[in-house]
Amino acid sequence: MNSQKNQIIYKDLGIIDFEEAYKIQLALFEQHEQWKINRRRGYDIPPPPDFILICEHLPVITIGVSGKESNLLVSQEILQRRNIKLIKTNRGGDVTAHNPGQIVMYPILDLERYRCDVKWFLKTMEEAVISLLREYTIDAIRIEGRTGVWIRDAHPPRKICSIGIRCSRWITMHGLALNVNNDLSIFSLINPCGFTNIIMTSMEKETGAKQNIYEVKERLLDHFLRILNEARNAEVGIDNHPATR
């Protein structure tokens, strides 16, 4: 574990194209990667800060490294007519969808500063969402073998949050997508996460009311940081201004 105290910087990117957000993630990921390479070469330089990026995406369907195109239920021509992009990406998992009203959180973290355990990190994101939803009287759970967050005792199963990451050299990127007020019809175009027998739900649908998405973002961040700080005390820098695009 790195002995230097780390900083976590939070940035709200607002509503942003998936590919643009990916470029920001990748640049931060590569900063961490280069620092580790330089450290092995003997350079004594300060480590880069960890980042938590939060945003909403313009309509897009993404396919992870283990995804199957057969889980896309419509043609690319139909997606184009509906102004929905289709992108293959390097996160884990199968196919999912993003659109405005859904909160996407991308932690770019060096797990050597917390705990070198990818399963722990995935459960940390799940627990942050479960704790958040409890505040809104939504009874959510994790299901063993099915990454993400689900509604308790729902038949058929209802999923409210999807999770897919990439981790290399203990550096993470990608993250979670929590349905808040978004149009859920986009999920009818896919088998979400490769499942054919589930329903995608949202905070709005479960509570019967639209939520203040800025408040939800802040509470999600608070819960996520609380769990990270249990693994390691961290200084937190806050920048709530959307990045210049």
Which are the catalytic amino acids?
Answer: 193
Q: Under a CB-based contact definition with an 8 Å cutoff, are residues 82 and 73 in contact?
A: no
Strands lying side by side in the sheet with 95-98? 85-88, 60-63, 95-98
35-61: b or e for each residue (b if 16 or more CB lie within 10 Å)?
A: bbeeeeeeeeeebbbbbbbbbbbbbbb
